[in-house]
Amino acid sequence: MTLLQAENLSIEFQTPDGVVKAVNDVSFSIGAGETVALVGESGSGKSQIALSVLGLLAGNARTSGTVTYQGKNLLEMQQNELNSIRAKEIAMIFQDPMTSLNPYMTIERQLNESLEQHEGLKGAAARKRVLEAMDAVRIPDAKNRLKAYPHEFSGGMRQRIVIAMALMCSPKLILADEPTTALDVTVQAQIMALLKEIQRESDMSVLLITHDLGVVAGACEKTLVLYAGRVMEQAGTLDLFETPSHPYTRGLLRAVPNIQDAVGDLRSIAGQPPNQMVPPPGCPFAPRCENRTEQCDRELPPLVGDIRHQRACWRPVEELV
């Protein structure tokens, strides 16, 4: 069953220097209990997609297309309607646990904010739920730490608090924007294991935004690869990693250093991502692509293929000799 469906989502920003097309014609769906990954480098528009779902885009943003949740288009909702969904139905885990917590508020107040808003819980009943949530994310000695401030916790513990905050009202969908990027690998492993476990218990869906292909491989059923605000390829994770069809996906996979057998040079992708104020007329990846033809420079490739594995490329990997 589809929980969230984005169709032809485009986001652009009006800036003094011109219009930046951050996201172009992105479509995807997330089923109940499913984990979908949005992979891309910085500037590929992956965070903006998550922000648009909850109506959190900056004031100069213009959106088009639809993001449907329970039959309603989230992009056209009024603030008060969105407020009834935020944190209750769809919650967000932000990237930086250092800045996404309020330094002036105790952990308890930050955690029970959404309970008070959505369920009207206060006092002992709210405290009980807060303690349960803190136990769920394994914050030791939760009882004595309710009155602590964010700076009294380590980075890993703060990210757990941010996750506990997102889980407070048992949402159906979590948008996790680089939830482990700021953390060490050992803590990352703890947090990803924790998310997986919570997801299994509560049949929650997750949209995982990351640039780390290792994290994707371990956690997601479906993966969308974004480049310059466009979907380059989307497929089941296993399929995508085994038979990448888009040269960009293949390049990304090759650029990841392998810890097991790493000798010789890494295979990099030459060049820089394009300027999104003046996007190239053809495929956005064409200037960096080894296989480009004249057509790639001229015409934008459509997203084609069967629904389980789609790619936007004129010369996909499997058609090369």
Q: Which positions touch other proteins (CB under 8 A)?
A: 41-42, 140, 154-157, 184-190, 192-193, 211-218, 237-238, 241-242, 251-253, 255-260, 262, 265-270, 272-273
What SS3 state is found at 69? strand
Measured distance CA(172)–CA(161) in Å, rounded: 19
Q: Which two tokens stand for residue 255?
A: 């650029």
* Backbone CA torsion sign across 231, 254, 217, 97: negative
Query: Which residue, 188 or 245, is less far from other proteins as judged by CB?
Result: 188
CB of 121 to other proteins, least distance (A): 30
**CB atoms < 10 A from the CB of 192, how many?**
18
Q: Which two tokens stand for residue 71?
A: 């039959």
CB of 213 to other proteins, least distance (A): 4
DSSP conformational letter for 279: -
**Share of the chain residues as helix, strand and coil, in percent rounded to the nearest 5:** 35, 25, 40
CB of 156 to other proteins, least distance (A): 7
Query: Which residue, 218 or 302, is less far from other proteins as judged by CB?
Result: 218
Query: Which residue, 184 or 299, is less far from other proteins as judged by CB?
Result: 184
CB of 94 to other proteins, least distance (A): 18
CB of 33 to other proteins, least distance (A): 18
CB of 144 to other proteins, least distance (A): 15
Query: Which residue, 63 or 237, is less far from other proteins as judged by CB?
Result: 237
Spatial strand order of the sheet with 173-177 comes to 90-93, 173-177, 205-210, 35-39, 222-227, 230-236, 309-311
Query: Which residue, 175 or 252, is less far from other proteins as judged by CB?
Result: 252
CB of 223 to other proteins, least distance (A): 9
Pairing status of strand 173-177 against strand 90-93: parallel
Query: Which residue, 28 or 227, is less far from other proteins as judged by CB?
Result: 227
Query: Which residue, 13 or 153, is less far from other proteins as judged by CB?
Result: 153
Query: Counting beta carbons within 10 angstroms of the beta carbon of residue 21, is it exposed (0 to 12), middle (13 to 18) or buried (19 or more)?
Result: buried
Q: Which helix (H) or strand (E) holds 165?
A: helix 155-167
